[in-house]
Amino acid sequence: MQDLMSKVDKNNKTKPFGGKVVVLGGDFRQILPVVRGGSRGDVVNRTINSSKIWKHCNVLKLTKNMRLKSDSLDKSQSELKEFADWILKIGDGMLGADDKDYGEAQIQIPEELCILEGNNPLLSLVDFVYPNIVTNITQPNCFDDGAILAPTLEVVEQVNDFVLSMIPGEEKEYLSCDTPCKSDEDYDVQSDWLTSEFLNEIKCSGIPNHRLTLKVGAPVMLLRNIDQAGGLCNGTRLQVKEMVFSPSISYLHVFCNDN
């Protein structure tokens, strides 16, 4: 940007983003960077507040909760406001007993926000988010109104496997074809260890696992843009309608629940 905008004004060569106004959106409570194996100090040093261009930034705050702008005074509105205020207090460090040595705090979650019944916590969670999932699995809107969030990929897999086990019917397994991409250029990379077996073991956000097990009725999510005009975009939730398997290729028919 600096090289491009300096052709308009030479002074832009030294300005952040070449003097262009850039709008960044986010919540400082939620956008902490992830530093693998890093300490609390490493995380702080990677935050945008520690950037050398931070002194050029002007922070504008959104102060109105638009979800609460309705004139309705029903119980759900009151509960939503109470929950929003509670979340803000946590983010502002106003709740919990601080551990000054580690900069951490213990937050007591109100009982009304907890799922307490049942000896199987995961089953209770699934029943709460997707009531009567076994009988409602054939309904197109079965998964429309709820989602289970998890902090790590390991927990995501645990929840996915459990929900899949509750869905009746035969399951089918689909395997990815992972091969390293050869290049004519020389790179300082040991390509010998980039085997198919190594690639098959990679698990990270945004990439499906090598081994994908599905059933008819199982919810899935697109991880790439296929047809934006038709609503088949990255993040679109779908549900498996039919599975056809042949020795040479696998076909998966899905219908869209939401765009």
Write the pLDDT tens digit of every residue in 22-64. Answer: 898 888 877 788 888 888 889 889 988 888 889 989 999 888 8
Residue where the block lists tokens 């459990």: 162
Q: What pLDDT digit, counting tens, does each position of 161-220 carry?
A: 999 999 888 888 888 887 777 766 666 666 667 788 888 888 887 788 888 888 888 888
**Distance separating alpha carbons of residues 95 and 29, to the nearest angstrom:** 14
Residue indicated by tokens 């809107």: 141
* 208-251 tens-digit pLDDT: 888 888 888 888 888 888 888 887 888 888 888 888 766 545 55
Total number of residues shown for the chain: 259
Using H for helix, E for strand and C for coil, what is the string for the chain? CHHHHCCCCHHHHHCHHHHCCCCCCCCCCCCCCCCCCCCHHHHHHHCHHHCCCHHHCCCCCCCCCHHHCCCCCCHHHHHHHHHHHHHHHHHCCCCCEEECCCCEEECCCCHHHCCCCCCCHHHHHHHHHCCCHHHHCCCCCCCCCCCCCCCCHHHHHHHHHHHHHHCCCCEEEEECCCCCCCCCCCCCCCHHHCCHHHHHCCCCCCCCCCEEEEECCCEEECCCCCECCCCECCCCEEEEEEEEECCCCEEEEEEECCC
pLDDT confidence tier of residue 73, bands split at 50, 70 and 90: low
For residue 21 the two structure tokens come to 């106004």
Q: In the predicted model, what is the mean pLDDT of residues 56-81?
A: 77
